[in-house]
């Protein structure tokens, strides 16, 4: 059958938004390159957006550099628990799985839920049984755990016991340049239980920091969203807590806590695509956050939070600190702004600005409209991203609007 080429296909992917250090860039770009190749091989030959995003995401799940599939972060008690969602923009069909421990490629299980079930979402052992009944091989949880992650968890628990803050998303550069840097509250994590004061912070100096390029995206993001007023910053309790954490970062003596964000990477993966028939699709897959409580589910696999697709508006995949993203239902929020006439880039920038202004959240988004316009934004120092079109491919770890 001859394929009617209604659209030029487009594939956009991400590999997590966080304070990625320089020495992690090459491995992430390599993973992004492979994932683009897997999805583009399908999309460029007239394949569907759903098949393309599934292939890209499976490629990143198979790559241990990402927080998805084997090699994901461990729960507090040392297990891998995976979440994934995919959505078809043509008919709004969606399929998701959460807290699965015995599935190597949860995006394949999400596809099965979408295609073969009247339901949208399965969790835990129910999701695993459903996948097994539909031909997927279940693995032992041990097979998904790699030594690097055991070490990372042990390190995290040591740091936590010592009261060190988690610099995962912000890095020091963002704490000094974002709006939270102006707030004066100075308490550390210990103060939440009232046990110990951290030292008074010195006047912040510009950081001698390999990721100082990160200051540009956030400034540009806020410039792009003038309707979000500074007034919104002060009273929100979650934002205040972020200010607290930012102040701790500023005040922490260097000898006490060298900047080492490699300890707490964030490499959730996602893909969005527009196929030659004009259909959109989106998918997101994650191992969640480091040392999460067993059973915790983040934004990634929740419809409208970390993922959404509607041919009449846009497709979106998000990454970042899941709880604030969930509270804002940010994927649907961004898609609806495109539906209301905003360009995908404007909507992406606005979504990330809203995330930060309303809840102090950190993260990134990729957004694609049915007309092929796209948006990429993040307020973390880096976000691994890739783009494939008929014109060629682009890969990066910082994206300026
Ligand atoms: N959003 C994910 C979660 O909270 C984490 C990430 O994107 O890195 O589970």
Beta carbons within 10 angstroms of residue 46's beta carbon: 15
3-state secondary structure of 387: strand
Report d(CA 67, CA 57) in Å as an integer.
Answer: 11
Ligand 1 near 261 CB (within 6 A): no
Q: Are 331 and 94 a contacting pair, CB within 8 Å?
A: no
Q: How far apart are the first and last CA of the chain?
A: 40
**Pairwise CA distance, residues 113 & 214, whole Å:** 38
Give me the torsion for CA of 349, 240, 259, 263, rounded to 10°.
-80
Which atom of ligand 1 is the closest one to the Cα of 363?
Answer: 7
Rounded CA separation 261/324 (Å)? 21
Q: CA dist 285 to 7, 18, 224, 313, Å?
A: 27, 16, 29, 22
Is 270 close to ligand 1, i.e. is its CB under 6 Å away?
no
pLDDT at 193: 27
Q: What is the pTM of this model?
A: 0.79
Please state, in angstroms and as integers, the Cα–Cα distance from residue 396 to each residue in 16, 132, 157, 245, following that order: 12, 37, 32, 28
From the CA of 246, how far away is ligand 1's center (Å)?
Answer: 20
**16 ligand 1 Cβ < 6 A:** yes
* Centre of ligand 1 from the C-alpha of residue 109, in Å: 19
The pLDDT of residue 265: 61
Q: CA torsion 389→391→392→397, rounded to 10°?
A: -70
**Residue 35: per-residue pLDDT:** 98
Please tell me the distance between residue 327's alpha carbon and the centre of ligand 1 in angstroms.
13
pLDDT 10s digit of each residue in the chain, 401 long?
A: 555 667 899 999 999 998 888 999 999 999 999 999 999 999 999 999 999 999 999 999 999 999 999 999 999 999 999 999 999 999 999 999 999 999 999 999 999 999 999 999 999 999 999 999 999 999 999 999 999 999 999 998 998 888 776 666 655 444 444 333 332 222 222 222 222 222 333 333 333 332 233 322 332 333 333 333 332 222 233 433 343 344 344 443 333 333 333 335 678 999 999 999 999 999 999 999 999 999 999 999 999 999 999 999 999 999 999 999 999 999 999 999 999 999 999 999 999 999 999 998 889 999 999 999 999 999 988 999 999 999 999 999 998 77
Please, are residues 274 and 217 in contact by the beta-carbon 8 Å criterion? no
């Amino acid at each position: 059958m001859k394929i009617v080429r209604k659209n030029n296909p487009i594939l956009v992917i991400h590999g997590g938004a966080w304070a990625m250090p320089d020495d992690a860039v090459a491995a992430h770009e390599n993973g992004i390159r492979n994932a683009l190749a897997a999805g583009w091989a399908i999309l460029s030959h007239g394949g569907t957006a759903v098949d393309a995003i599934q292939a890209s995401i499976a490629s990143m799940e198979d790559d241990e550099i990402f927080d998805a599939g084997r090699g994901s972060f461990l729960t507090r008690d040392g297990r891998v628990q995976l979440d994934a969602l995919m959505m078809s923009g043509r008919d709004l069909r969606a399929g998701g799985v959460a807290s699965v421990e015995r599935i190597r490629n949860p995006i394949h299980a999400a596809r099965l839920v979408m295609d073969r079930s009247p339901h949208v979402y399965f969790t835990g052992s129910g999701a695993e049984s459903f996948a097994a009944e539909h031909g997927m091989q279940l693995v032992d949880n041990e097979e998904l755990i790699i030594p690097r992650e055991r070490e990372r968890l042990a390190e995290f628990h040591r740091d936590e016991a010592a009261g060190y803050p988690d610099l995962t998303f912000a890095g020091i550069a963002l704490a000094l340049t974002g709006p939270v840097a102006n707030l004066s509250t100075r308490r550390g994590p210990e103060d939440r239980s009232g046990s110990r004061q951290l030292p008074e912070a010195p006047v912040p100096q510009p950081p001698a920091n390999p990721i100082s390029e990160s200051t540009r995206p956030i400034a540009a993001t806020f410039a792009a969203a003038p309707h979000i007023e500074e007034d919104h910053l002060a009273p929100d309790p979650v934002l205040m807590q972020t200010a607290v954490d930012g102040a701790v970062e500023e005040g922490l003596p260097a000898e006490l806590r060298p900047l080492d964000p490699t300890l707490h990477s964030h490499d959730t993966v996602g893909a969005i695509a527009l196929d030659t028939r004009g259909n959109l699709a989106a998918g997101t897959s994650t191992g969640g956050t480091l040392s999460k409580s067993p059973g915790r589910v983040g934004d990634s696999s929740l419809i409208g939070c970390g993922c959404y697709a509607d041919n009449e508006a846009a497709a979106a995949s998000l990454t970042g600190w899941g709880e604030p993203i969930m509270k804002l239902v940010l994927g649907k929020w961004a898609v609806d702004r495109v539906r209301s006439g905003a360009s995908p880039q404007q909507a992406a920038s606005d979504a990330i600005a809203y995330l930060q202004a309303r809840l102090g959240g950190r993260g990134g988004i990729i957004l694609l409209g049915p007309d092929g316009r796209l948006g990429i934004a993040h307020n973390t120092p880096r976000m691994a991203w890739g783009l494939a079109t008929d014109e060629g491919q682009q890969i990066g770890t910082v994206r300026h609007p």
